[in-house]
Structure formats: C-alpha cells, structure tokens
Amino acid sequence: MKETTGRPADPAQSMDAYLDHLRVERGLSANTLDAYSRDLRDFADWLEQNGCPSHLEAGQDHLRFYLLELKRKGLSSRTVARKASSLRGLYRFLLREGILSEDPTRLLDVPKPGAPLPRDLSLDEVERLLNRPDASDPLGLRDRTLLELLYATGLRVSELLRLRLQDVNLEVGYVVAYGKGSKERLVPVGEVALEWLKKYLASGRPRLLNPQRREKLPFLFLNRWGRRLSRQGFWKILRQYALEAGVRSRVTPHVLRHSFATHLLERGADLRSVQLLLGHANITTTQIYTHMNRERLKQIYERYHPRAT
C-alpha cells in the first residue's frame, strides 16, 4: 500500500474529488467528463478483478499490466494513450492534494499515437449537403441555417448548439462562441450564412417557439417541440441530409469543421488565423491541417504526373 498523508483516503471520494476538480477548476465539458469517468471506472473494475482493493493501492506494475491488457484486447494506441492520460491526471491530482505520496504513473511508458488526418468534404459535397434542406418550412429553414453557420464558422457542435440570441450580431456579422474551458471568442460569419440567419430569426425560429412555455428560451436553435436542439438531434439531421446528398463518406459536425479549416488553408489563409477561428489553444493542434494539405498534394501528384508511378 502506498504511504498516504493525514487526509482521508476513501477511494470513491478521491475519484469524485478529481472529477469535481476537472469540472469546476478546469471547466471541462460534460462529454469530456463522461469520458474521464468511464476510463477511471474501467480501471477501478480491472483492479478489483485482479485483487487490488482500489486505485489508492495500485502500483506501477498494476498500471503496466492494465495497459498491456488493453493492447492485447486490440484497443488502438490512441485509445490506450487516452486512458493512460486519464490515469496520469488522476494520480497527479492525488499527489498534489496530499492523498498519495508518490505517483505510480511517473515512469509509465505509453507509446504516442500518430495523429490521424481529419476527414473533410470537397466543395461539391459541401454544396450538395447545404442545398438539401427544404427551406420553405420552419424546420428546413432551421436546418439550412445550421449547416450554413457550421460551415461558415467552423464551430464545434457544442459551441453551435449553445449559441444564444444575444451571441449573434447581425449588424457587424459575428457570433460569440464559448469553447473548451468556457473560453470566449468572436467568430466572423460570412454574408451567405448571415442571410440565412436573418431569414431563420425572422420566419423560422418564431414558428418553432412553444407558446405554452412561460419562459422564453434564449437558445438560437430549437427543435420541433420548441426546446433546445440536442447534439443527438443534430447528428441525426446531418446524417440524413448527407445520405440524401449522396455523400459517401461518414459526415459528422466535426467533418464540416475540418472542411472549414481545410478550405481556408487551401485558399491561402495563414495557420495562425485558422487557429484563432477554430479556438485551438495550441497551434500544434492546427498544424495537422498542413499535413493533410501535403498528403492531398501527394495524391494529386501521384494521380496526374506521367512519371509518378
């Protein structure tokens, strides 16, 4: 058993304290917190099955064998690395709070996963997708505005669906997005998406409002019952339009975000500007798009140059 300090060392309480720290002090989203919670719960279950009372009793060997078993089960290097990161965060928190006196993850060797190239849509695919909603009815007008705004701004789906009426400035042409850690940024909106926003606010959203609700919802995008549109609801909407548009690849809100960034860089936008628009804290996250552009150039070269193959 690891030596602990005078603090109470209850396994469940220590794990809950860490998740509270992530939620309150680091401002992580509910989805990210759920992922951390699942990773830690899986580790706790594995420890119990292998005779270790709790994560407070676990040592370096427990962690090594756990990660090794994950690899043997066929989990990708990326998934294993993510789970290891969750455990590192937990033990560093416990060490900092004085609940443990040593960090068993300190010498943990985890292979770094290669960052996958993000998928994106061609301009033709984007046009077909944007043109699918029937804007003659309120739901279709809402959907067209959703797609236009997502492609025009590159917002994360959580940022898009969290937009409130007060976050939209139609006169100047921007929206206020709240990203990871509730960080605020201004994102410009192009003229086409701005026109759809004006149409939706004038004749789409008012018809989606539920007159029986006493309180007025502040959120920009509503569902057919007059409530805030959910992530799951938007995913279903997007998937259906992609099928109707004949887009073969799997389309998610993140694919449109990738398309936004890729099309900007292909037309000469600088990396720093794209980083700010996407809300990336570190420019290295944005640099993956430069790798994708190089990969695309290589594919074009191999396809069309007479001596490439």
> What DSSP state is assigned to residue 26?
S
CATH class (in words) of the domain with range 11-96: mainly alpha
pLDDT in tens, 62-111: 988 898 888 888 888 788 888 888 899 999 999 998 888 888 888 777 65
Instruction: Report residue 128 as tokens.
Output: 């077909």
Q: In Å, what is the CA distance from 145 to each residue of 170, 230, 233?
A: 14, 16, 15
The CATH code that applies to domain 123-304 is 1.10.443.10
Which pLDDT value is given to residue 90? 92
Planar angle of CA 128, 133, 134, nearest 5 degrees: 125
- The pTM (predicted TM-score) of the whole model is 0.60
> What DSSP state is assigned to residue 167?
G
The C-alpha atoms of residue 80 and residue 102 are separated, in whole angstroms, by 23
List Cβ<8 Å contacts ≥24 apart for 205-211.
205/138, 205/142, 207/138, 208/138, 208/139, 208/142
Residue 72's CB is within 10 A of a number of other CB atoms, namely 8
Contacts of 225 by beta carbon, 8 Å cutoff, 6+ apart: 210
Mean per-residue pLDDT, 272-294: 70
User: Active-site residue numbers?
Assistant: 156, 180, 254, 257, 280, 289
Contacts of 180 by beta carbon, 8 Å cutoff, 6+ apart: 27, 28, 29, 32, 279, 281
Per-domain residue ranges of the chain: 11-96, 123-304
The C-alpha atoms of residue 142 and residue 234 are separated, in whole angstroms, by 11
The C-alpha atoms of residue 250 and residue 119 are separated, in whole angstroms, by 9
For the chain, count helices (H), then strands (E). Answer: 14, 3
pLDDT in tens, 187-224: 999 999 999 999 999 999 999 998 776 567 899 999 99
Residue with tokens 């594995």: 46
CA atoms within 13 Å, Cβ hemisphere of 110? 27
Is it the case that residue 297 has pLDDT exceeding 70? Answer: no
Residue percentage of the chain with pLDDT more than 90: 42
Q: The sheet that has 184-188: what strands, in order across it?
A: 168-169, 174-178, 184-188
The C-alpha atoms of residue 11 and residue 55 are separated, in whole angstroms, by 7
